[in-house]
Amino acid sequence: MTLYVNLAELLGARIEQGLYRPGDRLPSVRALSLEHGVSLSTVQQAYRLLEDNGLVAPRPKSGYFVPQHRTLPALPAIGRPAQRPVDISQWEHVVELVRSSPNKDVVQLGRGMPDVTGPTLKPLLRSLAQLSRRQDMPGLYYDTISGTPALREQVARLMLDSGCTLSANDLVITTGCHEALSASIRAVCEPGDIVAVDSPSFHGAMQTLKGLGMKAMEIPTDPLTGISLEALELALEQWPIKLIQVTPTCNNPLGYVMPEARKRALLNLAQRFDVAILEDDVYGDLAYTYPRPRTIKSFDDDGRVLLCSSFSKTLAPGLRIGWVAPGRYLERVLHMKYIGTGSTATQPQLAIADFIESGHYQPHLRRMRSQYQRSRDQMIDWVTRYFPAGTRVSRPQGSFLLWVELPEQFDTLKLNRVLLEQGVQIAMGSIFSASGKYRNCLRMNYAAVPTPVIEAAVRKVGENAIRLLAEEANAG
Amino acid sequence: MTLYVNLAELLGARIEQGLYRPGDRLPSVRALSLEHGVSLSTVQQAYRLLEDNGLVAPRPKSGYFVPQHRTLPALPAIGRPAQRPVDISQWEHVVELVRSSPNKDVVQLGRGMPDVTGPTLKPLLRSLAQLSRRQDMPGLYYDTISGTPALREQVARLMLDSGCTLSANDLVITTGCHEALSASIRAVCEPGDIVAVDSPSFHGAMQTLKGLGMKAMEIPTDPLTGISLEALELALEQWPIKLIQVTPTCNNPLGYVMPEARKRALLNLAQRFDVAILEDDVYGDLAYTYPRPRTIKSFDDDGRVLLCSSFSKTLAPGLRIGWVAPGRYLERVLHMKYIGTGSTATQPQLAIADFIESGHYQPHLRRMRSQYQRSRDQMIDWVTRYFPAGTRVSRPQGSFLLWVELPEQFDTLKLNRVLLEQGVQIAMGSIFSASGKYRNCLRMNYAAVPTPVIEAAVRKVGENAIRLLAEEANAG
Ligand SMILES: Cc1ncc(COP(=O)(O)O)c(C=O)c1O
Ligand SMILES: Cc1ncc(COP(=O)(O)O)c(C=O)c1O
C-alpha cells in the first residue's frame, strides 16, 4: 500500500537534490511505471501526492513539470527521536510560550493563533451579542455535561465532510481541543502507560501526557506523509503501547496531510495490536484541498478511534469550544470531562451552533483556507530569502504553521532569547519533542495577511540566525 | 478552643430536644459560666454561634430566648461514614443528575444553580454584549494560561473580604471551580493517595477524586460546626493522608459555616501532620452574615492551603469562570490547569472583571443573600409542613441548598424515580458520600423566589416520601 508513497519520496528527493530543475519536464507516467515495475495508477498516485505538496505541477496533455516560479527550499529531515519511551520534559519552555498574552509590541509568530480579524467571522460576534441580550439568558445556566444538543447536532453534520457518520449522541463538547485530548488520554490510559506519538508533535498534547503521568514513545515522522508506519509497527512489537496519538491532517508542526492509504494502514496496525488511536483533527477543516481529507475516524469500524477537535483554529480559540467523538470510550470520556471542568460554557456553544446553522461556517472556511495558502507561499519566500543557506522548510498542506529547520548544530534557545528582546516571538523546536530534540528547529505562524511588519519580523529571525551561526563558527 | 462549640452543641441539643420551648428564656451567660466552669466570653461565643444558626434569639437587656415564631425541625444527625479510606462509587447516579439540561417541564430542585434572573445581574450581560461588539474582539484570542490580569486583580481585591491579602500573581483563573478542584488535587496528590473529606460532601469533588484515582477518607461532620476535628486527627494519625478537602463556609450540602476558631484549629492540624488543605469556598460570598466569614486560607502562613472558588454560585455557572489561590503549589497548579484545558475562555473573564470593577458585584451579592435567606425560611417551613414526621433539616448559614434527612430506613432512590416521572428533580443523598451513605437524605435548591409551582413541587416530594414510608411499613 505504500508503494506510491515510496515512489513519491524517491521522486521528491531527486527534485529536492536538484536532479530536475525548475521548468524541467518529469518522466512520463508510463516511463516511471516501467522503470520501477509498478502500475500506472501507482505512478499517478505518487504524482498526485507530489502535486499536493507543491513539488510538481501538471500541464494538461504534456505531463508533469517542476514548478517554474520558485525553487522551494528542501524539506525538513525525518527526525530521529529517542528509541525508547521517555518521560516528557520541556515544561519550562512551554510555559514561557503559553504564558504570553496578546501584546501589541510583540510580533507573535510563536502561538497557534488563527486570523480572527476577517469579515466572515462577524456573524459569530453578532450571535454572541444577541445571546447576551436575550430575556431568558440561556448562556447563564449550567449546560448538560455532554454539551448543548444544538451544537452537537451541527458538529455531527460538519463531520460528514471528513467521512464520519455520527450522531449528536456520539459527541462530547469540551473546553477546547485541549480538554478533548486530556479527557481522552485519561479515558484510555493509566499513569505509567506508554503512548506512541508522531514526532515532532504539538507541545500541548505532550505536556498533557506528561501531566497525566504517561511516557511518550516518539515515532519518526516523514514531513510529507506523516508517522512512519514501519517504526510504529516495530514500537508496537517492542513495547506495551496503550494509545497512538497522532495529528494526521494538517499536522502541527509539520503541515503534512497523511495520505488516505496510510491512514487506513495506521488503523489496521492499531487493530492488529489492539490499541486505541487518539486522532487530533484540530486543523483538519483548514486543509487547502476541497473536499477536506478524510479522518482515520471515518474508517473506524470498532470504535477504537477517539477523534478530538475544536473551533479554536477554524473560528477563534478564546471561545474554548472543542469536542471529542470517543467511540467505545464515550462513557469514560464523559466521566473524565466531568471531573475536569464539569460542564462547558453555554453561551459560546449556542453562538457557534447558530453560526453554523445559519450557513456561515463554510464561507468562512473557504476564505481562511485561501488566505492561509497565500500567506504560506509568502512566508516560504521570506524564509528562502532571509534565512541561512541550508535552511529546510515544511510544505504545509493546510492550517497556518511553518516548520523551519536550521543547520544541525544550531540552538534556537539563544535565538529565542535574542528575538524576545527585539519584539519577535517564535516557538522553539525543542518543545515539540518529549525529549528536547529539534533544538535546531522553530515554528512560525503565518495566519495573518502578510504585512511589512511581519516581513521585518521574519527577516529579524533569519538575520539573527545567520549572525548566531557565524558567531558559533568563529568560536568553534 | 472548641469549648464554646461544645457548649453550643450541648445547648443546641437541649433546645432541639424540647427542654426549652419557643419563647422560653434561656439561662443567663453568668449562670452557664458557673454551671460549666467556663469564662463569660466562652458562653457569649456559644450563644453567638447558636444565634447564627437561628436556634436562639437575643433580646436587648434580657438575654437569650428560644425563637417564638416557629419551631425549627431537628438538625440532621452527624453522619457515620466509613472508618477507612474507600474507593468512590455513585458515578451512575451523579451522571444522571448532571446530564439533565434546563427543562421548563421539570422543577429542578436538584442542581446547584443560583437564581440568575434578578436585575442586579443585568450589567454583566451588558458587558458581554459590549465585548462582542468591540472592534478589536479581545474575546477571540487565546488568553495567557494563568488568566486575564484584569480579572485576577479584581478577584484579589474581593478576597480581601475573607481576610486574604493576595496579589493577582498568586491566582490562576480556571474553567469553573470544578477545574480549580481538579487541578489542585492533581497538583498535590498522586493516584492512590488518600484524601480526607468532610462527609457529606459535594458530589463533583468526590467524583473528581475518583476520576483521578484517589481514595476518600470520609470524616464525620457536625451539621452546625463542620468536619469533626477529633475524627480528623485520628484519621491523620492512622492513615498517610495527603490532602484535607473541605467546604467550610456555607457548606454544600449542609449549609453550616465552620466557626473561625475551628478553621484555625483545622489549619493547625494540617501543619502538625504536614498535609495540604483544599478549601472550597465557592459559596463563601453567599454567607448571610456581613462581613462574610474568613477563609482558612486567610490564616495560612506557609502556603499549604489551596483555595478554590468560582463565580458559578454568585453570578452564573454557565460562564464557567473560577479561580484558585494555590499557595506554594502555584507552579504545579498552573501546569495541571494547562494540561486540562489550556487557557480559560477570554470574554467571560473580561466581562466579569468589568462587572466587579464597575461596582456591581457587592450590590448583587447583597440582594441575592437576602433573597436566599428569605427563601431558606420559606423552604424550611414547607418541609416542616409537608414532609414525614421525624424529618430533620439543615440550617443553612448561606447559599441556597437545604439538606433533608428522612427516617433512617428510607431510600431516596425510589423517591427520585417517582419524582422524575412527576416532573420534580432532587439530588439524592447517596451521591454526597463516597460510599453511598445518606440514602435517607436529599438536597433541595431554594435559590428561586418562592412560587406556588415550587411549593407544589416540594409538597410532591414530601407527600411521595410519606406514601413510600407507609408502603414500606405495610410491606415490612
Ligand atoms: C495539534 C493541536 N491540538 C490541540 C490544540 C489545542 O487546541 P485548543 O485551543 O482548542 O485547546 C492545538 C493548539 O495549538 C494544536 O495545535
Ligand atoms: C462545593 C462545590 N464546589 C464546586 C462546585 C463546582 O463549581 P463550578 O460550577 O464553578 O465548577 C460546586 C457546584 O455545585 C459546589 O457545590
Distance CA A140, CA A157 (A): 26
Closest-CA residue of chain B to A143: B101
What the block records as the C-alpha cell of B378 is 420559606
Residue B62 banded pLDDT, cuts 50, 70, 90: confident
Please indicate whether, in this complex, the C-beta atoms of A126 and B141 are within 8 angstroms of each other: no
| Test mutation, B320, B335, B354, chain A, max A CBs within 10 A | B320
**The domain at A121-361 falls in which architecture?**
3-Layer(aba) Sandwich (3.40)
How confident is the prediction for chain A on average, in pLDDT? 93
What are the DSSP calls for B25-42, one per residue? BPPPHHHHHHHHT--HHH
Instruction: Tell me whether residue B303 is exposed, middle or buried, using C-beta atoms within 10 angstroms of its C-beta: 0 to 12, 13 to 18, 19 or more.
Output: middle
For residue A154, the distance in angstroms to the closest alpha carbon of chain B comes to 18
Distance CA A299, CA B69 (A): 70
Distance CA B122, CA A384 (A): 54
Instruction: For chain B, give the percent of residues with pLDDT over 90.
Output: 79
How confident is the prediction for chain B on average, in pLDDT? 93
Distance CA A305, CA A309 (A): 13
Residue B136 banded pLDDT, cuts 50, 70, 90: confident
Task: Give the containing element (helix H, strand E) for B94.
Answer: helix B91-98
Ligand nearest to the CA of B312: 2
Mapped onto helix, strand or coil, the DSSP state of residue B226 is: strand
Is it the case that residue B1 has pLDDT exceeding 50?
Answer: no
What the block records as the C-alpha cell of B362 is 457587592
Closest-CA residue of chain A to B207: A339
pLDDT tens for each residue of B442-465: 999 999 999 999 999 999 999 999
Residue A352 banded pLDDT, cuts 50, 70, 90: very high
CA-closest candidate to residue A446, choices A454, A438, A436: A454
Distance CA B194, CA B216 (A): 6
Q: What is the Rg, in whole angstroms, of the alpha carbon atoms belonging to chain B?
A: 22
Calculate the CA A75 to chain-centre distance.
16
Close Cβ partners of B109 (under 8 Å, ≥ 6 residues apart) = B424, B425, B426, B427, B444, B445, B454, B457, B458, B461
Q: Is the CB of A247 under 6 A from ligand 1?
A: yes
pLDDT tens for each residue of A425-461: 999 999 999 888 999 999 999 999 999 999 999 999 9
Q: Is the CB of A298 under 6 A from ligand 1?
A: no
| Peptide bond between residue A191 and the one before it cis (omega within 30 degrees of 0) | no
Residue range A3-29: mean pLDDT, rounded:
82
Residue range B108-132: mean pLDDT, rounded:
95
Residue A1 banded pLDDT, cuts 50, 70, 90: very low
Residue range B424-430: mean pLDDT, rounded:
95
Ligand 1 pocket test, candidate residues A97, A177, A432, A443, most atoms within 8 A of CB: A177
CA-closest candidate to residue B338, choices A97, A214, A319: A97
Place of cell 493546510: A398
Ligand nearest to the CA of B346: 1
Output A66 or B321, whichever has higher pLDDT. B321
- What is the pLDDT, as a whole number, of residue B173? 98
Residue A69 banded pLDDT, cuts 50, 70, 90: low
Cβ neighbours around A452 below 10 Å, total: 8
Please indicate whether, in this complex, the C-beta atoms of B116 and A140 are within 8 angstroms of each other: yes
All residues of chain A having their beta carbon less than 8 Å from the beta carbon of residue B182 are 339-341
B427 alpha carbon to ligand 2 midpoint, in Å?
Answer: 14
Closest-CA residue of chain B to A346: B318
Instruction: For chain B, give the percent of residues with pLDDT over 70.
Output: 98
Is it the case that residue B373 has pLDDT exceeding 50?
Answer: yes
Please indicate whether, in this complex, the C-beta atoms of B99 and A146 are within 8 angstroms of each other: yes
Residue range B310-314: mean pLDDT, rounded:
98
CB nearest to A318's CB, from B91, B116, B140: B140
CB nearest to A178's CB, from B125, B334, B341: B341
pTM of this structure: 0.89
Q: Where exactly are the structural domains of chain B?
A: 3-66, 91-117+363-474, 121-361
Residue range B433-440: mean pLDDT, rounded:
91
| Test mutation, A124, A141, A207, A280, chain B, max B CBs within 10 A | A141
| Chains A, B: CB pairs < 8 Å | 216
Q: Is the CB of A322 under 6 A from ligand 1?
A: yes
Task: Give the containing element (helix H, strand E) for B233.
Answer: helix B229-238
Close Cβ partners of B44 (under 8 Å, ≥ 6 residues apart) = B29
Is it the case that residue B217 has pLDDT exceeding 50?
Answer: yes
In B171-321, DSSP assigns E strands to 172-174, 194-199, 215-222, 226-227, 241-246, 276-280, 305-310
- What is the pLDDT, as a whole number, of residue A71? 66
Amino acid at A227: I
Answer whether B3-66 and B91-117+363-474 agree in fold: no
Q: Determine which of A153-157, B57-61, B142-146, B348-352 has the lowest per-residue pLDDT on average.
A: B57-61
DSSP structure class, residue B409: T
- What is the pLDDT, as a whole number, of residue A70? 60
Lay out the sheet containing A427-428: strands in order across: A392-393, A401-405, A441-445, A427-428
DSSP structure class, residue A84: S
Q: Determine which of A287-301, B8-22, B172-186 has the lowest per-residue pLDDT on average.
A: B8-22
Distance CA A113, CA B95 (A): 35
Distance CA B350, CA B33 (A): 54
Tell me what ipTM this predicted complex has: 0.88
Calculate the CA A57 to chain-centre distance.
24
Give Cα separations from B143 to A98, A265, A319, A320, B198 (angstroms).
9, 38, 10, 10, 35
Residue A454, CB half-sphere, CA atoms under 13 Å: how many? 19
Place of cell 450541648: B10
Cβ neighbours around A14 below 10 Å, total: 14
For residue B94, the distance in angstroms to the closest alpha carbon of chain A comes to 10
Residue whose CA is at the smallest distance from ligand 2 atom 13: B112
pLDDT tens for each residue of A357-415: 999 999 999 999 999 999 999 999 999 999 999 999 999 999 999 999 999 999 999 99
Mapped onto helix, strand or coil, the DSSP state of residue A211 is: helix
Residue range B195-208: mean pLDDT, rounded:
95
DSSP structure class, residue B298: G
CB nearest to A113's CB, from B142, B213, B319: B142
All residues of chain A having their beta carbon less than 8 Å from the beta carbon of residue B129 are 128-129, 132-133
CA-closest candidate to residue B171, choices B358, B321, B364, B347: B321
Q: Are B270 and B244 in contact (CB under 8 A)?
A: yes
pLDDT tens for each residue of A159-211: 999 999 999 999 999 999 999 999 999 999 999 999 999 999 999 999 999 99
All residues of chain A having their beta carbon less than 8 Å from the beta carbon of residue B186 are 211
A178 alpha carbon to ligand 1 midpoint, in Å?
Answer: 6
Ligand 1 pocket test, candidate residues A100, A116, A178, most atoms within 8 A of CB: A178
Please indicate whether, in this complex, the C-beta atoms of B204 and A126 are within 8 angstroms of each other: no
Residue B279, CB half-sphere, CA atoms under 13 Å: how many? 30
| Peptide bond between residue B220 and the one before it cis (omega within 30 degrees of 0) | no
Instruction: For chain A, give the percent of residues with pLDDT over 90.
Output: 79
What the block records as the C-alpha cell of A101 is 498574552
Which sign does the torsion angle of CA B11, B13, B15, B17 carry? Answer: negative
CATH topology assigned to domain A91-117+363-474: Aspartate Aminotransferase, domain 1 (3.90.1150)
B153 alpha carbon to ligand 1 midpoint, in Å?
Answer: 28
CB nearest to B141's CB, from A113, A128, A176: A113
Q: Are A144 and B100 in contact (CB under 8 A)?
A: yes
Give Cα separations from B79 to B75, B225, B252 (angstroms).
12, 13, 14
- Name the β-bridge partners of A351: none
Strands A427-428 and A441-445, by their bridges, are antiparallel
What the block records as the C-alpha cell of A250 is 494538517
Pocket, ligand 2, Cβ cutoff 6 A: A 342; B 112, 176-178, 202, 204-205, 247, 252, 280, 282, 310, 312, 317, 322
Please indicate whether, in this complex, the C-beta atoms of B335 and A99 are within 8 angstroms of each other: no
Closest-CA residue of chain A to B104: A136
**The domain at A3-66 falls in which architecture?**
Orthogonal Bundle (1.10)
Residue range A127-147: mean pLDDT, rounded:
92
Cβ neighbours around A27 below 10 Å, total: 17
Distance CA A114, CA A117 (A): 9
Distance CA A246, CA A232 (A): 11
Residue A312 CA, closest ligand 1 atom number = 10
pLDDT tens for each residue of A265-322: 999 999 999 999 999 999 999 999 888 999 999 999 999 999 999 999 999 999 999 9
Close Cβ partners of A146 (under 8 Å, ≥ 6 residues apart) = A152, A169, A171, A172, A173, A334, B99
Residue A341 CA, closest ligand 2 atom number = 11
Angle at A94 between CA A89 and CA A96, to 5 degrees: 130
Amino acid at B179: E
CB nearest to B342's CB, from A102, A176, A347: A176
Distance CA A185, CA A120 (A): 34
All residues of chain A having their beta carbon less than 8 Å from the beta carbon of residue B319 are 139-140, 345, 347
Close Cβ partners of B338 (under 8 Å, ≥ 6 residues apart) = A94, A95, A98, A204, A207, A211, B145
- What is the pLDDT, as a whole number, of residue A476? 67
Is it the case that residue B71 has pLDDT exceeding 70?
Answer: no
Please indicate whether, in this complex, the C-beta atoms of B341 and A341 are within 8 angstroms of each other: yes
Angle at A316 between CA B147 and CA B342, to 5 degrees: 40
Calculate the CA B71 to chain-centre distance.
24
Ligand nearest to the CA of A320: 1
